[in-house]
């Protein structure tokens, strides 16, 4: 089964609408915060939750000793990005050439290693779009000829 753009667009719109409706139902059922249950094993209890939202913290002696206080100041941070790969120059002195039209190459006028000047024809393309446009033009010319007689 081939999918066209209309089918894909309709499916995407339907999925988005379903997601919006489900979100609306959820928030209509639970306005504000979602329902809570008793804390399970490994989850913070009410006392621990209060400590997480508290505005002050109590530290013991070892925790206080591990804190270092300094005046605020400006620092320069070096932006460094790591990537896998290699940097090399184009030893073949080649350039990628792409056509703005679809189709297959019907004729090639330059080969690898040839020096080319600006404006020189490199290749010709057999474009199905051009063939369709030619057929449409011929049909329109025929209709024009029949209607103007």
Q: Consecutive sets of 10 residues in the chain, 149 residues long: mean pLDDT of each? A: 79 91 82 59 62 78 90 89 81 74 86 86 86 90 89
Which pLDDT does position 142 carry in this prediction?
Answer: 92
Which pLDDT does position 18 carry in this prediction?
Answer: 92
Long-range contacts of 128-134 (CB under 8 A, 24+ apart): 128/102, 128/103, 129/101, 129/102, 129/103, 130/101, 130/103
Which pLDDT does position 33 carry in this prediction?
Answer: 61
């Amino acid at each position: 089964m081939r999918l066209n753009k209309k089918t894909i667009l309709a499916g995407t719109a339907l999925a988005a609408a379903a997601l919006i409706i489900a979100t609306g139902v959820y928030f209509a059922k639970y306005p504000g915060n979602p329902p809570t249950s008793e804390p399970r094993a490994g989850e913070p209890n009410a006392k621990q939750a209060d400590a997480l939202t508290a505005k002050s913290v109590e530290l013991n002696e070892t925790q206080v000793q591990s804190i270092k206080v300094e005046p605020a100041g400006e620092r320069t941070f070096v932006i460094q990005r790591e990537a896998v790969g290699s940097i090399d120059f184009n030893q073949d002195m080649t350039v990628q050439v792409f056509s703005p039209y679809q189709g297959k190459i019907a004729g090639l006028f330059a080969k690898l290693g040839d020096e080319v000047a600006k404006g020189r024809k490199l290749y010709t393309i057999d474009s199905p779009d051009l063939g369709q446009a030619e057929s449409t033009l011929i049909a329109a010319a025929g209709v024009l000829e029949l209607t103007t007689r």
